[in-house]
Amino acid sequence: MAVRASRARRGDRVRSMGRHARIAQLARLDEPGLDVADLGCGSGRTVRQLLAYEPAVVHAIDQVSDLDDDLLHDPRVRSRIVDLDADLVLPTATLDRVVSLNTVEHLQDPVAHLVEVHRVLRPGGVLVLAHSDWDTALFTSNDDELTRRLVDRFVATVPTWVDRADGFMGRKLPALADASAQRGAPFEVVHLDSWADPHRRFDERSIAFKVAMGIVAAAADDDELGPPAAQWLADLSTLADADQFLFTVTDVAVVLRRR
C-alpha cells in the first residue's frame, strides 16, 4: 500500500510539471555552475526554471527584449538581443547546455541554426530542442468539425506578426538532428520525449486563449470561416466558465549531445 501511495504521489508530481520545468529537467543540469543558453527565450519562463538548478549563467537570447523584470535583475541572467538567423554572438565551445522551445519554426534555416548551436556547445554539451506540434492542438468545443477546420487553417497560415511558421515542427525535430550531422555538426540523440499538458484555463493569460486567438486571426480573412470562428471563441469561454473546457497540444523534445 505504501509503495502504491508513493508511486501515486510521484505520478502526481510528474503530471503537474509544465513544459518549461520539463525542459529544464531534460537539460540535465546535474552539477551547479554550468553555462547555459535559452534561444528564443521570450519572457523567460524556461529561464526561470533553469535558474532553479543553480547555473553559473543563463544567456537569455531573443530578437526582442521581453524578459520579465525579476529575470533582468538576476545577476546570473545575461539578456542578449540576437537574430538567430545569423551567427550566435558567443565564442566557440563555451556552453554546457542550450535549450530552445517553440523557436525554430520561425527560423530561415533551422539546420544551419543547429550547426551554429553545435559550434557554441562544449564537446559533450547538451541541447534540448523542443517544440509544440500545433497540428495536434485539441480544444473542447461545441462543434468538433469547425474546430478541425480551424486548426487546419491555423497550421496552414503564417501569422502576420512572424516571418515564417511551421505548425508541424514538433514531429520534424529528430530529422533536424540528422540533417545537422550531414552538415558536419553531429549530435548523439540521448532522448526523445513527447507529452501533452492539460490546460483548463481560458483567461487572457492562458496558453489556450493565446492559441485560440491565433486560430481566430488565421481565419479572419475568410468569409466562410471568419464569422463562426468568432462564435467558436465565445463558446470556448462559456465552456471554461462551466468547467467543461480542455486544451492540449503535443510537445516534442529531442535531447542531443554534441559529439
Ligand X SMILES: C[S@@+](CC[C@H](N)C(=O)[O-])C[C@H]1O[C@@H](n2cnc3c(N)ncnc32)[C@H](O)[C@@H]1O
Closest distance to ligand X from the beta carbon of 107 (Å): 6
What does the alpha-carbon distance between residue 79 and residue 29 come to, in Å, rounded to a whole number? 20
What is each CA distance from 248 to 19, 109, 241, in whole angstroms?
12, 28, 17
Closest distance to ligand X from the beta carbon of 33 (Å): 24
- Residue 225 interacts with ligand X (CB under 6 A): yes or no: no
What does the alpha-carbon distance between residue 259 and residue 124 come to, in Å, rounded to a whole number? 6
Q: Which of 102, 194, 206, 237 binds ligand X (CB under 6 A)?
A: 102
Please identify, among the stretches 3-11, 101-109, 166-174, 207-215, the one whose residues bind ligand X according to the rule CB under 6 A: 101-109
Beta carbon nearer to ligand X, 140 or 154: 154
Closest distance to ligand X from the beta carbon of 81 (Å): 8
Cell numbers 514531429 label which residue? 171
- Residue 41 interacts with ligand X (CB under 6 A): yes or no: yes
Beta carbon nearer to ligand X, 82 or 115: 82
List the one residue out of 106, 126, 99, 120 whose CA is nearest residue 45: 99
Helix axes 226-241, 207-219, angle to 10 degrees: 160
- Residue 45 interacts with ligand X (CB under 6 A): yes or no: yes
Closest distance to ligand X from the beta carbon of 45 (Å): 5
Helix axes 207-219, 144-155, angle to 10 degrees: 80
List the x/- string, 53-82, binding to ligand X by CB under 6 A. Answer: ---------xxx-----------------x
Cell numbers 485560440 label which residue? 212
- Residue 42 interacts with ligand X (CB under 6 A): yes or no: yes
Q: Which of 68, 85, 193, 222 binds ligand X (CB under 6 A)?
A: 85
Q: Which of 103, 136, 141, 250 binds ligand X (CB under 6 A)?
A: 103
Closest distance to ligand X from the beta carbon of 93 (Å): 22
Q: Are 96 and 34 in contact (CB under 8 A)?
A: yes
- Residue 171 interacts with ligand X (CB under 6 A): yes or no: no
Number of chain residues interacting with ligand X (CB under 6 A): 17
Beta carbon nearer to ligand X, 3 or 162: 162
Residue least distant from ligand X (Cβ): 42
Q: Which of 31, 54, 70, 83 binds ligand X (CB under 6 A)?
A: 83
Residues lying near ligand X in the complex (CB under 6 A) are found at 40-42, 45-46, 62-64, 82-85, 101-103, 106-107
